[in-house]
Structure 1
Amino acid sequence: MTYLVLTTVIRRTLRVPTSTGAAGDGRAEARRLDAALLQVGFKASKDLLGHVSGLAQPAAYTRTIVDAVRGLVGDDVQHNPYFKDFPHGVPDTVEFWADCLRDALSKNVPRDRVLHDGSLNLLLLPNYGVRLHTYEELLAAHDDLIPSIKDRVTVLHLGGTLEEEIRRLYLELSASPAPLGEADLEILVELAEQTSELPDVIPIRENRAVINAARLARGAEPLVDTVTDVLRLACQASGGDVTLQQSTRFRSFRRPERRVLLAALDHVVADNPGKLGDVPQRAEAWKRLGERLHPHEFGQWPHAQDVFAVARGEKTARSFAGRVEIALQDNDVRQAVDLLRQAPGVLLRQVDRLLRHSGNDASYVVEAVREAAPVASGRVLCSLLEHLLNRRNPDAARVFANRGHRAWITEDARPPLAREVVDALVAVLEDELVRRLPAVSEVVVDPEVLDVVVPLSGNASEDGFGVLPRGSKLWLEGDLLRFFTYWRQNKHYADHDLSAVLLDPGLVFRGQVSWTNYTEDGAYYSGDLTEAPEGATEFIDVPRHAVTAKYVVPQVHVYSGEGFNEVAESMFGFMARDLDQKGKPFEPATVRARCEMRGYGKVALPVIFERVDEGEGWVATWLHLYLRGMNWGNTVHGTRDIARQVVSGVLRRKYFTVGRLAELIRRKTTSDGPRLHIALTRPENGDVATVDQLANLLEPQGTSLLA
């Protein structure tokens, strides 16, 4: 358990908890640790090396540190492509298929074993899709990596004790002002079970439900102020979906648990009967929960019984959303706005729709936003600001994504909003953000983070290393861009395929690289692997000076078998290196980013790469999107056009970036304020606000970052 907790803390925070081992001379082990970390692109801080040097027997401790960072960049598995000599020795596609066929004929493979409906089936050829070499043979075929000053070096810092780091991470996650991603939510579940401490504020409802479920298990009173809080708690306690996006199969609750849940419901409704209006929206879930709670057995809580009566349709409770909808249908924008004043966050999310119905009442909407802004969360303000920046003109394409990263695309048929109204609202939002931002004497922003999107939700990215929110841009230096996918099947067969669409500056299709076309425009593919009981990796190399395409769009297809959220492991990542560095196909020191792929869909679109004419390198723009695809047989030929639409929508959208936030902070500079340095990660020396902390700056408590 300690090993798993320790590796989790290191991977999530890049801080290493101190060891409780006996004091002694560990200087030799500290040197070995430093050398091992450098091989995977990490560096131990001076304090961490000093701590290891003072331990008598630090070998197990340092091994755990190295294991943690190797897993972070994907070096904990063997990346063994089909062609042993990759990136060299990749044959012509048709010639390779012919060789596989000749091999099958030389082995007298029966015709009925390689033919399907009268056509040749590549998957049935003995040599197709199955590696003919071991991982050790692959290693022997490659020279060692030649280090480069362009290689990534990430600093690991020394933290507090394991207990202190667990507490720190728990409070950081539970008090997060932005919704957590799936991986962080799972970490919070584990940590909440180990501590009864509560943060000063829990702004996100899903986080509150996780903590409430832990409190329920301990017999403590839950922290709820809406009926939906109780529903989320029941979902979490049943091992279901705390976000309420998926249906939960409620478990049987013990009688003391039922008393706690029903008492909480009764208290919420007794204080505000209007909150019964939230029940019809999730009536089916409430009816299923009622079958487990047996509210009729607890007559002392009549208000809780009203909740289930409304769900069954025995009592009427018009929802807040329903009253707003009626007002909008009657084109009574002022009535709708007056209703929405009761819920400032909902009001801000409805601004676009209100303006499209407003007619001559646009100024009434602007004034309502001015009143709501001071009490709304920072992420809602920034989300609306970003939305408005894209409403002066129609979007190239409207790209939507749900919590499972499933994307769908549609044309933007909305009329543009009046420029003067947009400008007025942008001024209101920016003034409110500036009011709550900390006063500083100077803002220093590392150039690499200027185009990073301020993380307002963990659902806009995925778990991993170097992963940034959707729409963020990352500069990559190096002559060679190499990206890869790795998967390991779980219980059944799984064939995943890596491919890339090549586009010109006008986003016109110029070719593709995949298992049907090994080389195109200078880019080349490592070979098709069709099963992965012990794991499989596919690569695509794009030498910058060899290709003419402006954009390279990687895609990962589930051709058949288990999907991304069904396999045991699934990841995507990319490296940047110089052509003369040599090395293995997978070199952890050159990995710039690696993300888990756990979305709902059969086609993954993790990132876009843009070849930069000025300078040397690429710009990566994160997508984190999945397309539904087909149940079987997904290929680049069937998804290239929709991928182009997605690229168009994401590239042309304006995002709320770190650069934009820095401009707002500079409007509040003062001669006696602290200095603010914003960076991707914390360096060896010096205090910075890292990108993942920036959402805190948008909340009233955000000034603590500068203490």
Structure 2
Amino acid sequence: MKKPNTAVPGSALDTYLLRRHGQVLVAPGAAPGEPDPWTAKGLVALEADLARRGHVPTKPLRDALRRLRPADLAETGTRLLAGLDALLGADRRHQPLFRRFPDGVPSHAHADYSVLIRGYLLRQSSQLCLVCERTSLEAGIGALAPCAHLLCHDCFLELTEHDDARHCPLCDVPLDREHHLPTDTRGARKAARDLAAGQALKPLRLAETGDATALVGAALADLLARQTPLNPQEREDLALLLEHAPADPGAWLPAAIPVREIRATVLATLLRRDPERTRPLLAAHLTTATDVLRLIWAWSGAEPDLLPGTARTLRLRNLPRPLRRELLAVLDAFPVGTLAEDLRRHRSAWLRAGELLHPYEHRDRFPYAAAAFAVVRQSDLDLHGLGPQLREAPAPLRVRETPAGHTRLTVETFAARVEHALAQGDLPAAVRLLATRPGELVRRLHHLLRVRAAWAPDQPLPAELADALPKALRAVAPGPLLGAYGRLRAPRGIGERRLYFPRGRVASAHTRFDWGKPVPVELSAPVCDLIEAELLRRAERSVEQAGRYELAVLDAGLADLVVPFAERASAKTLVAVPRGSVQRLPDGQHLRLFVHWMQRAHQRVDLDLSVAFYDEEWQFTGLCDYTRLVLGARAAVHSGDFTTAPPPHGATEFVDLDLRALGKAGARYAVVVVFSYNDIPFEDLTDAFAGFMTLTPSEAARQRTGSFHPASVRQRLDLAGEARICVPMIVDLQTRTHTWTDLNVGSGAGFHNVSRHRAEIGSLADSVLTHFAPGTRATLWDLGCAAAAAGSDEVWVRDRTGRGLGRYRRGADEPVAAFAERLRGRHESDHRTEQPPDDTARLIAERLAGTRAFTALVHADVSAPEGASGTLYRLYPGPLDAAPDTLERITAGDLVARFAPSGGNSPIE
């Protein structure tokens, strides 16, 4: 019987550095010199284990590891492997490194490492040089004999010039006469067949303590400046980074934190740590009453998302008297009408918060705060001594006498006034109201244009809206701006099926048919032009602050990546693919789907991995699940049904999809679903995640070697929240693509399987593909083109196949807007080439060398150029990750944040 996993867990900072930066913290070891022989043997074993996971240590990291004592190396290596396995989902049965150290160091580790390295070289010659940390542009990487460490041609020449004995610069072993290992061997060819085409080793670097501190500070600043809500992984990162923040918040806290939930989380953390220095900062950061409520929620240890229903179940934490007075002072400073309206918006939550604030105790000092609570509670003013003070209530408050003789306050809300104007068809009045709140105006753009089309068909934009829009667009955050752009850019028809994503902690969706009047192109096109101009203006402002680029490099595949939205409800994933994005399936004829879960003690949870198949018209054609383990001529094969997953190992189910066989069987779509058969929500599990691997036919057939291949894992997501049915992705078998959905399907009580929910799943999948059809949503391509056109006069665009490379140069008299439009539509390139993908990647790498560039790629499969600087966004890792730190790495959220309004302080509600 296998023993449970006893791997030494790393700290949260170790995990963060490994996941975000590919860096490893190593404790100081002995001074440089002759390493311990057991350490040298253990390091070889560790390198082999890392290579199996697709990673390789660079020279500084290897030097730091070889100075460790054998026991320290075993602990560090175990922690590193456990961290990598946790990211891939391969840590559930992972055995610790050197369990019987030192007697148990495997003698075959070097042979394994050598075969794996040569297999990687056969698949992709542009691997990483472990000394200079560059990938060769001329395929000059080789494996030294006998140690198999990777070295480029330049470093090898330097070695032969300065070392007559010719020792490996990493491990100091004497080199063989041939110097380089042959790659065309049976073992290397066998290892290469099990790797994806073009697969490269990912470098692991040594993290110095000073570097780690700088990375933490920079990452914290980026998260606080974010213009879109954080996903679950980023929220965990924020909590970690706040633990390592400087003591005095006034010295580092920015003047504005755009996302209100982040603001509440940060302030609550700082109040718990140092209330005396944090309380004076509250008035500047709490700009609405809802900000105060979010802070109270975060102070009580809850998510400050104020979701419906949480007010009834949340146990609020008492507020110290100084903090209570400070919050009442903040509330009292707001206009009383706006304050009362904000309190009514979250009435049940404020009723509970009022029990902590005791507003009537301080009615003489904070009368407006007390009056707003009187509106929410519908209290008698005279009963609380507020009658004499508020007989002449400021607008929009009104004093009324009830038949019973009580004095009450009422308020006419902003939303009620807007709805009344729209119901009357009075668009100018509605626009005048909405212009005071730019975010609301932009969110309601589609509704406003519909009202215009219904009441005044064949008429242009009303003057009031045309005048108010430019100012509103300048002030609104990127989320509403890009949402309106995506909604208006594509023509819509009567009866279209619309997809809605309600606020929640898990991503759920529902659909309905929309029979409203479509917005004509004559109304939507001018608005889209204004939004495009505003995006370009913001990109130009960002360039003014950060400096221009000599070159911009874009992937046309960015058009398949939807701008991130509803990130609060996104699952934690290995690769941060935005929901609704379409990606080509990696090379390999087989997909191996998996789900792993572990239940609590004295609990039974039965998760089922299932695949539902549909034809072109979304008619159900078959399934592969616990009721049907084999579909057709083994086109889909289920590994078997586990009905319980006890600790310490849990249980894992697999489904293999033979893509070629499924295509011949008549199925067009394969919808991947994870069911909680006995209706236990995912959040009740100790651990649960799902994902997929891509395998070659030979690898898929070798069941005896194990079903889980960590190096083949392409995506995984955590199953969390109150959901019981998760739809991670939809596979289009005809186009060999998958749409990443990360959605949950609503379910009633009872048992769940494909047969019961096949209609709902098919309808949801059809709606998802319609909702995210090309051209209907804002994409990273839109942002990339705006950033490239505004920041550089030369732009290279690589097509989706990787073979075509178009080069665009802005004309001397060409306006930036015209250049951006030419890029966005990929019209009239100045030069275009067609060549193998490796040659295209080589050309890009050569051009990036020594250049300040804006680079946005789907795959970072370009060799790391020497001396490159600028900005890099990439979705999937690759050799370009080995570029120097002068190349700033950004995420999709960071790219969106570059399109913040002027000043970057537009609050997001």
Q: Give the shorter-chain TM-score range.
A: 0.7 to 0.9
Task: Please give the alpha-carbon distance, in whole angstroms, between the structure 2 residues aligned to 1:636 and 1:381.
Answer: 38
Task: Please give the alpha-carbon distance, in whole angstroms, between the structure 2 residues aligned to 1:449 and 1:698.
Answer: 17
Q: 1:346 is matched by which residue type in structure 2?
A: E
Q: SS at 1:465's partner residue?
A: coil
Checking the alignment, whether the CA contact within 8 Å between 2:728 and 2:743 is kept in structure 1 is yes
Q: Once the 2 structures are TM-superposed, how far is the Cα of residue 690 of structure 1 from its aligned partner? A: 4.3
Task: Please give the alpha-carbon distance, in whole angstroms, between the structure 1 residues aligned to 2:345 and 2:57.
Answer: 52
* 1:397 corresponds to: 497
Q: Once the 2 structures are TM-superposed, how far is the Cα of residue 351 of structure 1 from its aligned partner? A: 0.9
Greater Cα offset, 648-657 or 515-524: 648-657
Cα deviation 1:411-468 (Å, max 9, x = unaligned): 2323221111111111111110011113544331246544122324523631020131
Task: Please give the alpha-carbon distance, in whole angstroms, between the structure 1 residues aligned to 2:88 and 2:903.
Answer: 30
* 1:499 corresponds to: 610
Q: SS at 2:882's partner residue?
A: coil
* 1:133 corresponds to: none
Q: SS at 2:410's partner residue?
A: coil
Q: 2:587 is matched by which residue type in structure 1?
A: E
User: Is 1:304–2:340 an aligned residue pair?
Assistant: no
* 2:524 corresponds to: 422
Task: Please give the alpha-carbon distance, in whole angstroms, between the structure 1 residues aligned to 2:508 and 2:26.
Answer: 42
Please, which of 684, 691, 707 is the counterpart of residue 882 of structure 2? 684
Q: SS at 2:482's partner residue?
A: helix
Q: Once the 2 structures are TM-superposed, how far is the Cα of residue 536 of structure 1 from its aligned partner? A: 1.2
* 1:38 corresponds to: 51
Please, which of 588, 591, 600 is the counterpart of residue 722 of structure 2? 600
Residues 688 and 601 of structure 1: CA distance in aligned 2, closer, same or farther (over 3 Å): same
Cα deviation 1:224-249 (Å, max 9, x = unaligned): 11110110011111122310014145
Task: Please give the alpha-carbon distance, in whole angstroms, between the structure 1 residues aligned to 2:482 and 2:200.
Answer: 31
Checking the alignment, whether the CA contact within 8 Å between 1:392 and 1:422 is kept in structure 2 is no
Q: 1:592 is matched by which residue type in structure 2?
A: R
* 1:215 corresponds to: 270
Structure label with greater radius of gyration: 2
Checking the alignment, whether the CA contact within 8 Å between 2:562 and 2:579 is kept in structure 1 is yes
Cα deviation 1:89-133 (Å, max 9, x = unaligned): xxxxxxxxxxxxxxxxxxxxxxxxxxxxxxxxxxxxxxxxxxxxx
Q: 1:507 is matched by which residue type in structure 2?
A: W
Please, which of 564, 587, 594 is the counterpart of residue 477 of structure 1? 587
Q: 1:3 is matched by which residue type in structure 2?
A: G
Task: Please give the alpha-carbon distance, in whole angstroms, between the structure 2 residues aligned to 1:434 and 1:159.
Answer: 38
Checking the alignment, whether the CA contact within 8 Å between 1:434 and 1:664 is kept in structure 2 is yes
Q: SS at 1:487's partner residue?
A: strand
Task: Please give the alpha-carbon distance, in whole angstroms, between the structure 2 residues aligned to 1:176 and 1:32.
Answer: 42
User: Is 1:445–2:567 an aligned residue pair?
Assistant: no
Please, which of 286, 291, 295 is the counterpart of residue 229 of structure 1? 291
User: Is 1:658–2:723 an aligned residue pair?
Assistant: no
Checking the alignment, whether the CA contact within 8 Å between 1:488 and 1:569 is kept in structure 2 is yes
* 1:694 corresponds to: 895
Please, which of 289, 292, 316 is the counterpart of residue 356 of structure 2? 292
User: Is 1:586–2:694 an aligned residue pair?
Assistant: no
Please, which of 67, 82, 87 is the counterpart of residue 67 of structure 1? 82
Task: Please give the alpha-carbon distance, in whole angstroms, between the structure 1 residues aligned to 2:888 and 2:495.
Answer: 36
User: Is 1:19–2:26 an aligned residue pair?
Assistant: yes
Matches within 5 A, 1:57-456: 57-78=72-93, 147-150=194-197, 153-161=201-209, 162-195=212-245, 196=249, 197-217=252-272, 218-219=274-275, 220-221=278-279, 222=282, 223-245=285-307, 246-248=309-311, 249=313, 251=315, 253-254=317-318, 257-276=320-339, 277-299=341-363, 300-314=365-379, 315-358=409-452, 359-360=455-456, 362-363=461-462, 364-393=464-493, 397-402=497-502, 403=504, 404-437=506-539, 438=543, 440-446=549-555, 449-456=558-565
Checking the alignment, whether the CA contact within 8 Å between 1:396 and 1:648 is kept in structure 2 is no
Q: Once the 2 structures are TM-superposed, how far is the Cα of residue 671 of structure 1 from its aligned partner? A: 3.8
Task: Please give the alpha-carbon distance, in whole angstroms, between the structure 1 residues aligned to 2:510 and 2:659.
Answer: 31
* 2:637 corresponds to: 524
* 2:10 corresponds to: 3
- Aligned CA-pair RMSD: 3.0
Q: SS at 2:684's partner residue?
A: coil
Count the aligned residue pairs.
635
Q: Once the 2 structures are TM-superposed, how far is the Cα of residue 281 of structure 1 from its aligned partner? A: 0.9
Task: Please give the alpha-carbon distance, in whole angstroms, between the structure 1 residues aligned to 2:725 and 2:615.
Answer: 22
Residues 24 and 593 of structure 1: CA distance in aligned 2, closer, same or farther (over 3 Å): farther
Q: 2:438 is matched by which residue type in structure 1?
A: P
Q: SS at 2:254's partner residue?
A: coil
Q: 1:353 is matched by which residue type in structure 2?
A: H
* 1:545 corresponds to: 660
Q: SS at 1:327's partner residue?
A: helix
Q: Once the 2 structures are TM-superposed, how far is the Cα of residue 395 of structure 1 from its aligned partner? A: 7.5
* 2:568 corresponds to: 459
Q: Once the 2 structures are TM-superposed, how far is the Cα of residue 538 of structure 1 from its aligned partner? A: 1.1
* 1:107 corresponds to: none
User: Is 1:488–2:598 an aligned residue pair?
Assistant: yes
Cα deviation 1:258-315 (Å, max 9, x = unaligned): 4324423433442433431211111111111111222233343333323322221243
Task: Please give the alpha-carbon distance, in whole angstroms, between the structure 2 residues aligned to 1:340 and 1:318.
Answer: 15
Task: Please give the alpha-carbon distance, in whole angstroms, between the structure 1 residues aligned to 2:513 and 2:230.
Answer: 30
Task: Please give the alpha-carbon distance, in whole angstroms, between the structure 2 residues aligned to 1:488 and 1:13.
Answer: 27
Q: SS at 1:199's partner residue?
A: coil
Q: 1:260 is matched by which residue type in structure 2?
A: L
Gaps of 5+ in 1: 80-142
Q: 2:507 is matched by which residue type in structure 1?
A: H
Q: SS at 1:316's partner residue?
A: strand
Task: Please give the alpha-carbon distance, in whole angstroms, between the structure 1 residues aligned to 2:200 and 2:615.
Answer: 29
Q: Once the 2 structures are TM-superposed, how far is the Cα of residue 537 of structure 1 from its aligned partner? A: 1.0
Identity %: 28
Q: SS at 1:321's partner residue?
A: helix
Task: Please give the alpha-carbon distance, in whole angstroms, between the structure 2 residues aligned to 1:34 and 1:274.
Answer: 66
Matches within 5 A, 1:660-675: 660-668=782-790, 670-671=792-793, 674-675=852-853
Checking the alignment, whether the CA contact within 8 Å between 2:680 and 2:724 is kept in structure 1 is no
Q: SS at 2:11's partner residue?
A: helix
* 1:108 corresponds to: none
Q: 2:881 is matched by which residue type in structure 1?
A: P
Q: Once the 2 structures are TM-superposed, how far is the Cα of residue 338 of structure 1 from its aligned partner? A: 0.9
Residues 574 and 253 of structure 1: CA distance in aligned 2, closer, same or farther (over 3 Å): closer
Task: Please give the alpha-carbon distance, in whole angstroms, between the structure 1 residues aligned to 2:56 and 2:412.
Answer: 59
Task: Please give the alpha-carbon distance, in whole angstroms, between the structure 2 residues aligned to 1:154 and 1:550.
Answer: 35
Residues 698 and 460 of structure 1: CA distance in aligned 2, closer, same or farther (over 3 Å): farther
Q: SS at 1:397's partner residue?
A: strand
* Greater RCO (CA < 8 Å, at least 6 residues apart): 1
Greater Cα offset, 154-163 or 290-299: 154-163
Checking the alignment, whether the CA contact within 8 Å between 1:479 and 1:577 is kept in structure 2 is yes
Q: SS at 1:695's partner residue?
A: helix
